[in-house]
């Protein structure tokens, strides 16, 4: 395969363009897509770049088709991916549930938009619950929530590698703001950073040479007997739990016994981190926690961070989707009150977080 990035290069580009470069660098071979804002430019950049590197693209008739064709591409042995947002993410839950059942390592880039329904196209974290726990299953997925263009690049490479390593559908969860904003990013060849790209294998349609002495493979997602499904699913859950220990990621900074622990994910965590630094330099006893994997959620790490805090503030561009993950994680582990700065589909600034934090800090003063 042609080397995509010869030497490290500092670039200034949109998040969607970073996704296209990251997928190329990660060895992605095929994208199946359907237009929806704010992810369209991923397809625009991919279709410009793909022929130069002998990679493929198909624009399908809808998101159902894009998602299922991605599964077909993966089963045929190609690193394949898809990108969508909002109502497209709702439709994608159908192929994603098949990927969970058949352990198909497809990768999705989700650029969240406001909801429910058609709503808005820029700033939102309202697809947190859908991306982590959508479909009619148990949420056997891997979801990275990125906050910067550098992270989009880094975690895209990690997403492809971990998808093919653990064989669960894997997501890079961004949003319209990250998709459309331009900022600096360092593009690099993973090999030059010592990152080995995970290999692929065919699930379907092996060559006759490979077929010799091997059983033909029959993949299904239908079961006749409850116990048969239960055993299959419990094996998947055991595999997922094993993966969770190895892939779970978070960021934590600040006092171990803070008067206030600030919690946020994705692009909102940038404003919250800035607020944390502001409060810290103003002499407040505060801490900052950010889940990087939303699924698996860093439960134990959050319990440590929150175990001796006096109160928590969860900030998100949704109405309680992160908050419910935080509450679930801390149930029975803390008596500290948990407040929510909940602005579904709205931006959250450093100033707003500082204002809320100071009000809460005055309470415990």
Partner 1 sequence: MERIHDHDPAMPASWNRATKPHRFCPGCGHGIFLKALGEVIDELGIAERTVFGCDIGCSLLAWDFLNVDSVQTHHGRTVPVVVGAKRANPELIVIAYMGDGGGYAIGAQHLVNSAMRNEKITVLLANNTVYAMTGGQMAPTTLPGQTTGTTPYGRDPDATGQPTLGPEMVAAITSNSAYVARGSVSNYPRLKQYVRQALENQLAGRGFSFVEALSGCPTNWHTNAKQTWSYLDDEMTKYFTLGEFKTPGQAEGGEDK
Query: Which residues of the chain form contacts with partner 1 (CB under 8 A)?
Result: 29-30, 32, 56, 58, 60-62, 64-78, 80, 94-95, 98, 102, 202-208, 211, 216-222
Taking the complex as a whole, the smallest distance from the CB of residue 97 to partner 1 amounts, in Å, to 8
DSSP characters over 239-274: HHHHHHHHH--EEEEE-SS-SEEEE--TTHHHHHHH
Q: Give the three-state DSSP class for 85.
A: coil
Is the Cβ of residue 10 or residue 218 nearer to partner 1 in the bound state? Answer: 218
Nearer to partner 1, 5 or 197 (CB): 197
Collapsed DSSP state (helix, strand, coil) of residue 324: helix
* CA angle (342, 96, 47) in 5-degree steps: 95
- Cα(181)–Cα(17) distance, rounded to whole angstroms? 10
Pairing of strands 80-84, 107-112: parallel
Whose Cβ is closer to partner 1: residue 219's or residue 319's?
A: 219
What's the min distance (Å) between Cβ of 116 and partner 1? 23
For partner 1, give the closer residue by CB, 57 or 252: 57
Nearer to partner 1, 216 or 335 (CB): 216
CA distance 195 to 26: 10
Residue in the structure block whose two tokens are 């550098």: 150
Q: Cβ 100 to partner 1, closest distance in Å?
A: 12
**What's the token pair of residue 174?**
């961004």
Shortest approach of partner 1 to residue 218 CB, angstroms?
4
Quote the least distance from Cβ 61 to partner 1, whole Å: 4
Pairing of strands 142-145, 293-295: antiparallel
Q: How far is the CB of 69 from partner 1 (least distance, A)?
A: 3
* Strand duo 9-14 + 182-187: pairing: antiparallel
Q: How far is the CB of 137 from partner 1 (least distance, A)?
A: 13
Residue 181 CB, shortest distance to partner 1, in Å, is 32
Give CA separation, 70 vs 57, 108, 255, in Å: 10, 9, 45
Residue 243 CB neighbours (<10 A): 18
Q: Report angle CA 195, 294, 296 to the nearest 5 degrees.
A: 75
Residue closer to partner 1 by CB (options 44, 206) is 206
User: Facing residues of 293 across strands?
Assistant: 144
SS (HEC) of 104-122:
CCCEEEEEECCCCCCCCCC
In the bound state with partner 1, the residue whose beta carbon lies nearer, of 221 and 235, is 221
Q: Name the residue nearer to partner 1 (CB basis): 27 or 298.
A: 27
At its nearest, how many Å lie between partner 1 and the CB of residue 62?
6
Contacts of 227 (CB under 8 A, 6+ apart): none
Of the pair 64, 233, the CB lying nearest partner 1 is at: 64
| Backbone phi and psi for residue 254, each to the nearest 5 degrees, phi listed first | 115, -170
């Amino acid at each position: 395969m042609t080397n995509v990035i010869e030497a490290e290069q500092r670039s200034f580009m949109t998040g969607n363009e970073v996704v296209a470069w990251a997928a190329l660098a990660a060895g992605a071979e095929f994208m199946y897509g359907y237009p929806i804002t704010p992810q369209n430019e991923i397809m625009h950049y991919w279709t410009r770049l793909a022929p130069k590197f002998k990679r493929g693209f198909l624009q399908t008739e809808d998101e159902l088709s894009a998602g299922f064709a991605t599964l077909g591409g993966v089963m045929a042995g190609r690193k394949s991916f898809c990108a969508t947002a909002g109502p497209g993410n709702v439709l994608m839950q159908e192929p994603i549930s098949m990927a969970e059942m058949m352990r198909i390592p497809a990768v999705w880039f989700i650029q969240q938009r406001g909801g429910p329904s058609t709503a808005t196209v820029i700033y939102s974290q309202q697809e947190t619950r859908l991306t982590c726990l959508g479909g009619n299953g148990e949420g056997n997925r891997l979801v990275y929530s990125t906050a910067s263009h550098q992270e989009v690049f880094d975690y895209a490479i990690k997403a492809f590698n971990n998808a093919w390593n653990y064989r669960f559908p894997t997501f890079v969860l961004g949003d319209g703001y990250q998709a459309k904003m331009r900022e600096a990013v360092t593009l690099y060849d993973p090999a030059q950073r010592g990152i080995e790209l995970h290999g692929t294998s065919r699930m379907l349609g092996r060559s006759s040479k490979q077929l010799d002495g091997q059983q033909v493979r029959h993949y299904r997602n239908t079961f006749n007997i409850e116990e048969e499904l239960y055993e299959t699913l419990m094996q998947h859950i055991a595999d997922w739990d094993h993966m969770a220990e190895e892939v779970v990621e978070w960021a934590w900074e600040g006092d171990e016994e803070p008067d206030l622990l600030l919690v946020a994910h994705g692009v909102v965590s940038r404003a919250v981190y800035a607020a944390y630094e502001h409060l810290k330099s103003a002499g407040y006893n505060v801490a900052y926690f950010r889940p990087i994997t939303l699924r698996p959620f860093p439960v134990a790490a959050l319990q440590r961070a929150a175990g001796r805090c006096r109160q928590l503030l969860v900030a998100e561009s949704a109405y309680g989707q992160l908050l419910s993950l935080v509450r679930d994680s801390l149930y029975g582990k803390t008596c500290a009150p948990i407040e929510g700065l909940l602005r579904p589909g709205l931006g959250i600034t450093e100033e707003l977080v500082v204002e809320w934090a100071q009000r809460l800090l005055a309470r415990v003063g």
